[in-house]
Amino acid sequence: MDALTPLERRIAYARLVRGFVDAASDVRWNWLMAAHVVGQHEPGLHFDSHRRMLRLAGETRDWGEAAGQLLRIALLPFGHLLRRIPLGNTGRAEVGVTQAMEPPEPVQVLVDWAVLATKLPA
């Protein structure tokens, strides 16, 4: 993910968010987790991914997830100030806020798809 330019990161993130909006309900979390993986190293995108996760948690009445997202939103500025953003972290409540990880395969496939599109000639 660090090999992306800021513009490429924003393009990939936007593709994933569009996919999330259009996705079937059973895979919407995968799209948001992929967006989080791509956007977590840029504060604005990182905040946006958690805001969207909080909203989806509310829509699905997953109050544990909603509480986890509120915590992550509160901690987000400190993570960026201290440069403690773990690679690959999917941003979900069941994942530790400082846990680096390999995203699950369905999430990684979406990340790869979005990043590849930024590398194609115009």
Tens of each residue's pLDDT in the chain, 122 residues: 558 999 999 999 999 999 999 999 999 999 999 999 999 999 999 999 999 999 999 999 999 999 999 999 999 999 999 998 999 999 999 999 999 999 999 999 999 999 998 876 65
| Per-residue buried b or exposed e for 95-112, using 16+ beta carbons within 10 Å of the residue's own CB | bebeeeeebeeebbebbe
Length, in residues, of the chain: 122
Which run of H or of E encompasses 61? none
- Domain annotation covers residue 58: yes
Residue 22: domain span: 6-119
- Domain annotation covers residue 1: no
- Domain annotation covers residue 24: yes
Rounded Cα gap, residues 60 and 71, in angstroms: 18
φ, ψ of residue 26 to 5 degrees: the values are -75, -10
- Domain annotation covers residue 88: yes
Angle of CA points 30, 36, 42, to nearest 5°: 165
Count of structural domains, the chain: 1
